[in-house]
Structure 1
Amino acid sequence: MGGETERTAAASKNEEKQAQVDIRKGILGFTESAVMKCAVELGIADALENSGGPMSLFELSSSLGCSPPALYRIMRFLVHRGIFSQKSTSQGSTGYVQTPISRLLVRHGENSMAGLVLFLSSPMLLALWQCLSARVLACETSAFEAAHGKGIFQYTATDPAFSKLMDDAMACGARVTVPAIIDGCPEVFEGLGSLVDIGGGNGTTLSIVVKACPWIHGINFDLPHVVSVAPKNDGVEHVGGDMFDSIPNADAAYLMRILHDWGDEECIHILRKCRDAIPRDKGKVIILEAVIEEKETDQLKDLGLMMDMVMMAYTGKGKERTLKEWAYLLNEAGFSRHSVKHIQAVESVIEAYI
């Protein structure tokens, strides 16, 4: 009896100790994104990518022009988390090397996500997390609005630098997600003569699509201040406007990470505008969004729930949705059927038909 009591007391102490560790890890969770931002700003991944082999601490610090002791601590942190790695050189010393994660931090890499790191770790966005409780207490506003006095989309219209930061971040996602569609379910783009990308930013999505599917005429549709600075791409036409008013006609309307910015009422309105823009016989709406599986317990659900908190903070009304919630929106918008396809990305492909 006494032994069982002692074991119970020991287990309780271990649980308490682990709880203290877990809560500190939660509180300090921001450090990983902050140090990753530091790595991008210093150009650590770029230096290693161009080195041709492992780089010693001295070589790396000389290349970057920074303090070896400080860089050592940064690299120790990032190596511990598997973002960079270490490898023995032919001389028997140890040097830093790239990993699949760190290659995504190369500023101009093919699948670079450096822009997303810089955007999500920007002071403008970090500040609004201090106002999340204000969003919960006053559901009519967003944490972004509570922190900065106006909504995120109103703010981007008046701040070109922040607008570009956002567009660069969205382009990062496009460079990963669109090839995943083309590789995983290319039939999504088959038979389309034209495609309008709603909220397409700088046109990265359509530039990838028309390169892989040159028979498609791409229409990059976004707010006038966004498309006015979008680069020219063959096969892509930039059109300025407001998706709440009207959407250019095309065989298919494409919405990638747009609807999660808005509440149900706004989403239904946007989807009805999409329905008006596509032909009734063969038209469709292609939606790229995370789908939260209610019974799912893996990392994708964890990431989806994190993104849901981001939507609550950034836009107020926006949220990530379950299959049941997506079905509700599409039915209310007047679509008769839809299908869901999973790809090698965080997002799934939802195709909706009139």
Structure 2
Amino acid sequence: MDAKSIKEEKAELEIWQYIFGFTPVAVVKCAIELEIADTIESHGGAVSLPDLASAVCCSPSALGRIMRYLTHRGFFELHESTHKYSNTPLSLRLLLKNGANSVAPFLLMEASPEMLAPWHRLRASAAPGGGSAFRAVYGEDFWDYASQNPAVSKLFDDGIASHATRAICEIIERCGDVFEGIGCLLDVGGGDGTTLRYITEACPWVRGINFDLPHVVCVAPQIRGVEHVAGDMFKHIPEADAVFIKWVLHDRSDDECMHVLKKCREAVPKETGKVIIVETVIVEGEEDEYSDTKLALDMVMMAHTEKGKERTFEEWDCVIKGAGFSSYTVKHIGSIFSIIVACP
């Protein structure tokens, strides 16, 4: 088979993957809402289809088709000898609705009607004069919309918190030394304080300040060693030994990033302070197992933010230097993250 035929055969296969590309997320969302993985765990780790259908109040026939699809996709394993289903590492990480290390809330957030609607208006974000898919649907940006809709705000906060759990554990494990010598750490856009909870538990010498918008921190749970402070990062950032800012800057334009980072730089001591940035760094021309995810996340920014984007190394260099930092280092920490430590 020549090269042209191989490409045509590959294209024929991919055509159907795109036509029905919505299917995986829809079925996975259904499985989370039915609490299938949780039910399997509550039945000792293995359960038959009739018992599972009874437990989740589903038609055995319909549930059987759902389980066939999800088993094919690697979410469950069907044991032929017992005719029982068990979870796999994939279902334990993505489908457990009540799992401590599950990112199910993150998927439920991204797959919610509110977050899916802007995808149908994505071309608005590609308008010559600039535009916003989210604003085209709701008439305002996400932050204003969430501040007036508590259910959407909670959905977002829960989703980001579940993601933060995995991300911060990875950061602490791979480069926990970045927190050494820090007495007070300010988390900008820290949501419900999940990130600081993990940091202060792993690094008990750190006192945390969780800094976010008033409608966010007013419902944040009390956390030992963490103080919740309401404010606007564009207007003022409280002083601290170091600033931590994760998955916040990708929501913003270059000018907005430089504005926020300048305030972060001014909030830490000139000689000993640092700003710890956790974001995706796209390395153009290089491919790895997470390249597709990084580029997909850039499309998420286009759908859900006004001018946000995932940045290349060169774009981060421009933003950090534009904010007045004297030096910085970049370290890839696995999956889709890199940690940037900028010094005043």
- TM-score when normalising by structure 2: 0.96
User: Residue 111 of structure 1 contacts residue 175 of structure 1 at CA under 8 Å; is this kept in 2?
Assistant: yes
Deviation, 1:138, is: 4.8
Q: Are residue 45 (structure 1) and residue 37 (structure 2) matched?
A: yes
Whole-Å separation in 2 of the counterparts to 1:31 and 1:307: 19
SS in 1 for 2:281: coil
Which structure 1 segments of 5+ residues have no match? 1-6
SS at match of 1:299: coil
Q: 1:139 to 1:192 in 2, by over 3 A?
A: farther
Task: Check if 1:213 corresponds to 2:188.
Answer: no
CA contact (8 A) 1:49 1:106 kept: no
AA of the residue aligned to 1:325: E
In the alignment, which residue of structure 1 is the partner of 2:277? 287
Map of 1:103 onto structure 2: 92
Whole-Å Cα distance in 2 between the matches of residues 143 and 306 of structure 1?
16
Which position in structure 1 is the counterpart of 2:336?
A: 346
Percent identity between the two aligned chains: 50
Q: Distance in 2 between matches of 1:307 and 1:251?
A: 31
Could you give the per-residue CA deviations for residues 26-52 of structure 1, whole angstroms, max 9, x where no partner exists?
Answer: 132121111111011000111112222
- 1:323 CA displacement: 1.2
2:123 to 133, 136, 140: 133
2:141: which partner in 1?
151
Stretches of structure 2 lacking an aligned partner (at least 5 in a row):
none
- Tell me the matched-pair count: 343
Aligned pair 1:87/2:79, yes or no?
Answer: yes
Q: Deviations over 1:91-120 (max 9, x none)?
A: x22221111111122122121111101100
1:174 is displaced (CA, Å) by 0.8
Counterpart code for 1:96: Y
Does the C-alpha gap of structure 1 residues 341 and 18 become closer, same or farther in structure 2, counting only changes over 3 Å?
Answer: closer
**Aligned equivalents of 1:264, 1:204: Cα separation in 2:** 27
Instruction: Verify the 8 A CA contact 2:171 2:333 in the aligned structure 1.
Output: yes
1:4 matched residue in structure 2: none
Q: How big is the shift at 1:299? A: 2.3
Matched, 1:165 2:155: yes
Deviation of 1:287 after TM superposition, in Å, equals 0.7
Structure 1 Cα separation of the partners of residues 219 and 25 of structure 2: 29
Maintained 8 Å contact 2:290/2:335: no
Correspondence for 1:33: 25
Q: CA deviation at 1:15?
A: 4.5
TM-score by length of 1: 0.93
Using a 3 Å threshold, how does the CA distance of structure 1 residues 246 and 87 change in structure 2: closer, same or farther? same
Structure 1 residues 139 and 118: alpha-carbon distance in aligned structure 2, compared to 1, 3 A threshold: farther
Counterpart secondary structure, 1:71? helix
Q: Which amino acid aligns with 2:216?
A: V
